[in-house]
Amino acid sequence: MAVIASACRGLDVPIFAVFGNHDHHAQRTAELAEVLGDAGVRVLDRQCASCEVDGLELGVVGTKGFVGGFPGSALPDFGEPLLRSVYAETSAEAEALARGLQEIVHCDVRIVLLHYAPVVDTLEGEPPGIHTYLGSERLATPIAENGADLVLHGHAHAGSFEGPHRRDPRLQRRRPREGPELLDLRARRQRCPPGRRGRGRARASGIASLSAWKVASPGSRSRP
């Protein structure tokens, strides 16, 4: 983590992050957050934040997300207390997403950061038998209901880089000619008429897996 902090220190752009399962397994999240914070990285844990970028207000909602699966193989809210506690944890993560998106509804651009996947599309390439442990469709519900311009997640190292949000047809991904256009805030400002920013309208939502993107790089073979 010190290497990441060193790389981020001194950058003149806002940096946001969320923790994943390895960070929690080490039981050092407080220490890691302090190291990253000293380097100017804002770690979000069921939180949201906003900042100005190139004259636009950027809102970011960040949380880890959790497991639970997707249609055809999903954990129900039933059974032993341990299983129901897993379901409850995912519920708390989804509720945090909803609260955060409502708090940044006024922002020109809204981004969601997750570790676990909210859609099964970006898990294509991973063994179907482990999809339940890679994310939960229940994380997609608050995104569909409240809207987001871009959703980023990790965890699925052998998955696919991008996928549409299928729960709400208004949020289908419109594929840009080039990937970076999704993050071109100046282009976003040109497309958004004055006086219509931040009114909670339906947005085209793209969902991307950063872990799957990393796997395309030479030498990246790590698992979730």
* Digit-coded pLDDT (tens) for 61-88: 999 999 999 999 999 999 999 999 999 9
Cβ(143)–Cβ(61) under 8 Å?
no
Tell me which amino acid residue 73 is. S
pLDDT of residue 164: 67
Instruction: Flag whether pLDDT at 167 surpasses 60.
Output: no
Mean pLDDT of 171-177: 35
Q: Which residue has the higher pLDDT, 142 or 162?
A: 142
pLDDT of residue 44: 98
Query: How far, in Å, CA of 181 to CA of 140, rounded?
Result: 23
Cβ(100)–Cβ(47) under 8 Å?
yes
Closest CA to 99 of 46, 49, 137, 56: 46
pLDDT of residue 212: 57
Cβ(150)–Cβ(104) under 8 Å?
no
Instruction: Flag whether pLDDT at 172 surpasses 70.
Output: no
Element spanning 34, H or E: helix 29-38
Tokens encoding 193 = 């008429």
**Bridge-partner residues for 60, per DSSP?**
49, 111
Cβ(16)–Cβ(113) under 8 Å?
yes
User: Which residue ranges make up each domain of the chain?
Assistant: 1-43, 46-215
CB atoms within 10 A of CB 219: 5
> Cα–chain-centroid distance for residue 61?
8
Pairing of strands 73-74, 69-70: antiparallel
| Residue 165 banded pLDDT, cuts 50, 70, 90 | low
The winner for highest mean pLDDT among 94-108, 160-174, 187-201 is 94-108
Give the three-state DSSP class for 135.
strand
| Residue 207 banded pLDDT, cuts 50, 70, 90 | confident
pTM of structure: 0.79
Tell me which amino acid residue 158 is. A
Query: How far, in Å, CA of 185 to CA of 198, rounded?
Result: 14
pLDDT of residue 200: 41
Q: What angle do CA 7, 9, 11 make, to 5 degrees?
A: 90
CB atoms within 10 A of CB 151: 29
